[in-house]
Amino acid sequence: MKFLDLARVHIRSGSGGNGCVSFRREKFVEYGGPNGGDGGRGGDVWAVAVDGLNTLIDFRYQQHFFARNGQAGMGRAMTGKDGDDIVLRVPAGTEILDEDEETVIADLTRPGDRVLLARGGNGGWGNLHFKTSTNQAPRHANAGQPGVERTLWLRLKLIADVGLLGLPNAGKSTFLAATSNARPKIADYPFTTLVPNLGVVTSDGAEFVVADIPGLIAGASEGKGLGDVFLGHVERSAALLHLVDGTSGDPVGDWRTIVKEIGNYGAGLAAKPRITVLTKIDTLDAEERAFLVEELEAGGAGEVKTMSSVSGEGVPDVLRALRKIVGVKAPGDAEATGTAGATEDEGPWEP
């Protein structure tokens, strides 16, 4: 299934049915009087978040959604049928924006969340409603109210516990493939990841969701590269995993590039809990690892972990640190506080 995280839709609620002008005509009834019924209501347009979807690709092939109009009223005081509602099924985590692409109308973060996007028009009154003691034969009725027509934008922000950050070729996709059943594209050249990927990672029997987005480059906040387009997918993450390539030649500069870009992006990303990890340590000896870790920590990265997604070295420690931040409890945890910790008999992790 192709990934699509932004779509424009045109919606229109149903118009109300017109009221009816009618008079009772029966044999032997001299003064029948008015009996025109009311028009039916027009259908509404709703959006509802459903489980099992992680893309807006359905809205590429259908962009127009029109609810049915209400039926006109009829004689014998019969009310017209209400128009059927129409429901847009969207993934959880979808923001609904106005036509300006800035005004947020609704944010559907959980399955079952729903919002009314356009209310159907009321049906018009039939002439039966206008009968009074001084006007016993009214010959007019109300027209139904028109529906609401508008253009909206749907923007999907994936809901994951952990978001991966890093320059292209920092090892994000390799990490996701090694720790989950996700199968992102992996190659020895930059920008192999063109769309976000989700994977369910298991650590000591506990599961949490990790989102991988295309790599960032210098100037991403100004529109360069691909990653800034997809940073919204890690906005909802509880923690960020910042991977730094240990073979790049300038890991401190790489780290600073990412930190600068997420700071420029805003949306609270810079304030999220973040774990910095030096990757590809299987290609480095002990002296090189220690030197690069010391440089990163001196440059402001805080505590730096090391790992290799290929050999599996250091991966369990990284996963347990992430699990502790996101608050996922493992079956072997002694405390039931929601903060997980490693147990003494935890075995090695294998890729």
| Domain harbouring 148, CATH code | 2.70.210.12
Domain end, chosen from 104, 122, 156, is at 156
The single-letter code of the amino acid at 156 is L
Q: Does the residue 342 lie in any domain?
A: no
Number of domains in the chain: 2
Q: Average of pLDDT values for 106-115?
A: 94
Judge whether 97 is annotated as a binding position. no
Judged by DSSP in three states, 282 sits in helix
Which CATH number characterizes residue 185's domain? Answer: 3.40.50.300
Residue 332 pLDDT more than 70?
A: no
Domain end, chosen from 156, 184, 200, is at 156
Judge whether 28 is annotated as a binding position. no
Residue 314 pLDDT more than 80?
A: yes
Q: Does the residue 242 lie in any domain?
A: yes
Q: Does the residue 200 lie in any domain?
A: yes
Pair (34, 167) in one structural domain:
no
Which pLDDT tens digit goes with each residue over 189-240? Answer: 555 566 778 888 888 888 889 988 877 777 665 666 665 667 878 888 889 9
Pair (27, 61) in one structural domain:
yes
Say if CB 58 and CB 33 are below 8 A apart: no
Judge whether 229 is annotated as a binding position. no
Judge whether 191 is annotated as a binding position. yes
Pair (120, 262) in one structural domain:
no
Judge whether 34 is annotated as a binding position. no
According to the model, what pLDDT value does residue 212 have?
86
Judge whether 316 is annotated as a binding position. no
Judge whether 194 is annotated as a binding position. yes
Residue 9 pLDDT more than 80?
A: yes
Q: Does the residue 34 lie in any domain?
A: yes
Pair (82, 211) in one structural domain:
no
According to the model, what pLDDT value does residue 341 have?
38
Pair (88, 143) in one structural domain:
yes
Judge whether 332 is annotated as a binding position. no
Pair (322, 181) in one structural domain:
yes
221 or 319, greater pLDDT = 319
- The answer to which of 27-31, 64-68, 108-112, 226-230 has the lowest mean pLDDT is 226-230
Judge whether 214 is annotated as a binding position. yes
Judge whether 282 is annotated as a binding position. yes
Pair (96, 213) in one structural domain:
no
Judge whether 192 is annotated as a binding position. yes
* Distant-in-sequence, close-in-space partners of 215: CB < 8 Å, separation ≥ 6: 166, 167, 168, 169, 170, 172, 190, 191, 193, 225, 226, 227
How distant is the alpha carbon of residue 179 from its chain centre? 23
Domain end, chosen from 156, 175, 201, is at 156
According to the model, what pLDDT value does residue 348 have?
41
Q: Does the residue 236 lie in any domain?
A: yes
According to the model, what pLDDT value does residue 43 have?
97
Pair (60, 176) in one structural domain:
no
Q: Average of pLDDT values for 183-188?
A: 62
Q: Does the residue 44 lie in any domain?
A: yes
Pair (186, 126) in one structural domain:
no
331 or 189, greater pLDDT = 331
Pair (252, 295) in one structural domain:
yes
Pair (10, 84) in one structural domain:
yes
Pair (79, 2) in one structural domain:
yes
- In the predicted model, what is the mean pLDDT of the chain? 86
Residue 112: count other Cβ atoms within 10 Å of its Cβ.
Answer: 10
Domain of residue 186: give its range. Answer: 162-326
Residue 173 CA: distances (Å) to CA of 42, 106, 251, 312? 49, 32, 18, 14
